[in-house]
Amino acid sequence: MIQLSSCPKGCSQDLDKAVPAAETVRMARGRLQSLKLDLLAETRRVDTGRLGIPVFLSVCGHDARTVMPTRKQMGKGASASQAEASALMELVERYSYFRFMQQTETVFSGTWSEAEEHFRGQIMPVEQLLLSVGDTSDAAAVRPLLDLVRWQFCPATQINSGQRIALPLDWFRTLNEFNGSSAGNTYEEAVLQGLCELVERHVCCIAARDRQPQPTIMPQSTDDAVLLGLLDKFTANGIEVLLKDFSMELPVPTVAALAYDPSTLGTRSEIVFTAGTAATPAKAAIRALTEVAQLAGDFETGSCYEASGLPKYTSEAETGWLKTGPQVAFSDLPHIGDNDIFAELTHLTAKLGMDGFHAYCIDTTAPELDIPAVYTIVPGFRFRERDKNASPGLFIGRILSEQYPPEAAADGLEQIRKVYGDLPCLPFYQGIIALRQQQYRQAASCFAQAQPVQPEKGSQAMAAFYHGYSLTLADAWAEALPLLDRAVSLCPQMKEYINLRGVARYRLQQYEAAAHDFRHLLQTLDRESAVDHVNLGLCHEKTGNTAAALQCYRDALAIDPALQRARQRLQALENAVLSASA
C-alpha cells in the first residue's frame, strides 16, 4: 500500500518539487553510485548552447542495460540542476519500472475467477476494465472471456479511497506500456507527476484525433519570470512558438507548444510539437517549452525526435488546425496550485473521480535504490498510440494467439466471436497462430483476409506488413515487396515497416532503393539505429561506395560498440582497401 500525506514544496522556482533540484541530483547520484550494481555510467550536458536551455543525458551502466531496453535517458529543465535531476530521475523511473515488471514476488498468476477468490473480492471491477478501452459492452457478457487466459494480478492503491485493489498488471502494461511510470523525491511528488503525464497523454490524444479549435495562449500574459525567460530565449533565436490550451475542462492545465525555426527547418531542424501538464499554467508551459528544447536539438543539429503523445508534422501546412481558436490568458486556464503537493494531488484525484476517472497506483520502487517510484493507471484515459477499436476481445485474442497452444488459442478466438461477433482482429490473430506454427503461406492468407476488414489505416498497415513478413519467411521476397510498400504508404513513420522494405529491396538486389529506405529511416525517424547504419553500409558496399560504407560501420559502432556485424564488416572492408592499395 502506498501511504500519502502532507508534502510541502521545497522548491518552486523552476518546477514544483519537494526539494531543490541540486539536492535531488546529490541524492539520486549518490544512491545510483553507492550500489555494487553498475546502473549509472555518467550524466552529461548535450545541448549546443544556442538556446541556453540545458538538456542532459543519463547514460545507463552495464547492469541497468540488462534490465532496461534503453541505453540513455534525457532530462529537461530551465536550469542545469533541474535538467540533470530530470535525467537522473528518468533513469530511476525506467529502471524501477522494468525491474518491477520482471519480478514475481508481488504478482499472483491466475484466471479472473481464481483472482476473485485469492483477493477475496478486492479486485478491479470488470466495468473499470471495459472503461480502460472505451468498451460499452455488457460486463456480464464479457466476464466469461476473462477466464480464457491467466492474468498477472498485482495489488494497487486506489488514490481516492486509499483502498487496496488487485488489478491485471499485464492488461495495463499491454495497454499503456510505461506511460504512467514516474519517480520522485517523495511518493506524493512521484504520484502527482505520473498522474499529470497521463492527463497530458489523454487530452493530447483527443486534440490530435478530433483536430477541433483549441484556445491560443497569449505568451506575454504571464508574470512568471522563469517562463518569460524561456520565451525570450526562443524569440531571441528566431524560433516561432505557438502555445495552445489543451486542458479540455479537466482540473489541471495542459499547455501544448508548437515550435520551429524558419531558418533551419527541413535542413537542420524539425517542427516540434509537444505538451506539458502541471498544477499551474506557468509550470505546465515550462514543462512544454523545456520538452521542446529537449526534442529539438537547439534547432540546428539535424536531430530527429520520435513522436509519442502528439503527432509529428513535417510541414507548416499540416499545423493549420492549431492556428484557430480564441485567444486566452494563462490566468484563464485551470489551476490547482497549492504550497503542498499532497493537497494538489488530493484536489486533482477528487475532481477526476467526479468525472468517473479513478487513479490506481502500484509501488514500483526498487528496494536497492529506495527512491519512490510508481506506476499509475487511470481507466478511461486515452493514448494516441492505442488501437481505437480496443476491447477485451482484442486483447484477450492477442494473448491467446501469441502465448497459448494453437488449438486452445483457436478455441478461445471462437468464444470471443460468440460474444463480439466477427471482430476485424480475429483473422489477424489466426494469422499469428499460423506464423507460430511456421505455416507461412497459411499465415499470409489469413493476413490477406484481415486487411480489407480493418477499420483504420494503422490496423490496415499492420495487416499488410504481417502479410508481407509472412511471405519473406517463405522466401517470397518479390511477392512481399508490394505489401510492404502498402504498409509504408499507410503508416510512413513506422520504423519497422521501412526497415523490412529496405531488407526486401536489398534481397531483390535493388540496392539504391534499399539505401533510400535506410537513409530515410536514419535521417527522419531514428538516428540511433545502429542496425540500420549497418544496413545502409551494406547497400553502399554493393554500389561500390566504399568510403560511405566505412563511415556507416563506424557510425554503427559509435552507437553500439558491441555490434559484431558492424565490426566484422568494418574490418573486412578495411582489409580489402589495404590489399587493393598494396
Q: Give the separation between CA 311 and CA 66, rounded to whole angstroms.
A: 31
So where are the chain's domains? 21-103, 392-581
- In this predicted structure, the answer to whether residue 406 has a pLDDT above a threshold of 70 is yes
- Give residue-wise pLDDT tens across range 128-145: 999 998 899 999 999 999
The values of phi and psi at residue 72, to 5°, are -155, 155
Beta bridge mates, 164: 157
Cβ within 8 Å of residue 579, ≥6 positions away: none
Which triple of cell numbers denotes residue 501? 522494405
pLDDT, residue 480, reads: 98
- In this predicted structure, the answer to whether residue 389 has a pLDDT above a threshold of 60 is yes
- Give residue-wise pLDDT tens across range 160-207: 899 999 999 999 998 888 899 999 999 999 999 999 999 999 999 999
| Confidence grade of residue 215 (pLDDT, cut at 50, 70, 90) | very high
How many other CB atoms are there within 10 angstroms of residue 277's CB atom?
A: 27
pLDDT, residue 582, reads: 66
- 438: left (phi > 0), else alpha (psi -120 to 50), else beta? left
Q: Give the separation between CA 115 and CA 118, rounded to whole angstroms.
A: 5
Q: Are 217 and 245 contacting, i.e. CB atoms less than 8 angstroms apart?
A: yes
Beta strands in 120-187 (DSSP E): 151-158, 164-168, 181-183
Cβ within 8 Å of residue 538, ≥6 positions away: 506, 549, 569
Closest CA to 186 of 410, 344, 412, 349: 344
* CATH of range 21-103; options 3.30.1360, 2.120.10, 1.10.8, 3.30.160: 3.30.160
Cβ within 8 Å of residue 315, ≥6 positions away: 271
Q: Give the separation between CA 22 and CA 520, rounded to whole angstroms.
A: 40
> Helix or strand or coil: residue 188?
helix
Q: Give the separation between CA 428 and CA 416, rounded to whole angstroms.
A: 14
- The CA-atom distances, in angstroms, between 387 and each of 71, 134, 264, 276, 394 are 28, 11, 35, 23, 9
| Confidence grade of residue 388 (pLDDT, cut at 50, 70, 90) | low
The values of phi and psi at residue 5, to 5°, are -155, -175
Q: Give the separation between CA 59 and CA 256, rounded to whole angstroms.
A: 28
- Give residue-wise pLDDT tens across range 226-278: 999 999 999 999 999 999 999 999 999 999 999 999 999 989 999 999 999 99
Looking at residue 219, the DSSP 8-state letter turns out to be: G
Q: Give the separation between CA 377 and CA 177, rounded to whole angstroms.
A: 11
How far is Cα of residue 435 from the mean position of the Cα atoms in its chain? Answer: 27
H helices present in 219-340, as ranges: 225-236, 281-296
- In this predicted structure, the answer to whether residue 490 has a pLDDT above a threshold of 90 is yes
Beta strands in 394-523 (DSSP E): none
Q: What is the mean pLDDT of residues 25-40?
A: 94
- Give residue-wise pLDDT tens across range 300-340: 998 888 888 899 998 999 999 999 999 999 999 999 999 99
The values of phi and psi at residue 313, to 5°, are -105, 145
CATH assignment, 392-581: 1.25.40.10
> What is the residue type of 70?
T
- In this predicted structure, the answer to whether residue 387 has a pLDDT above a threshold of 60 is no
Which triple of cell numbers denotes residue 502? 529496405
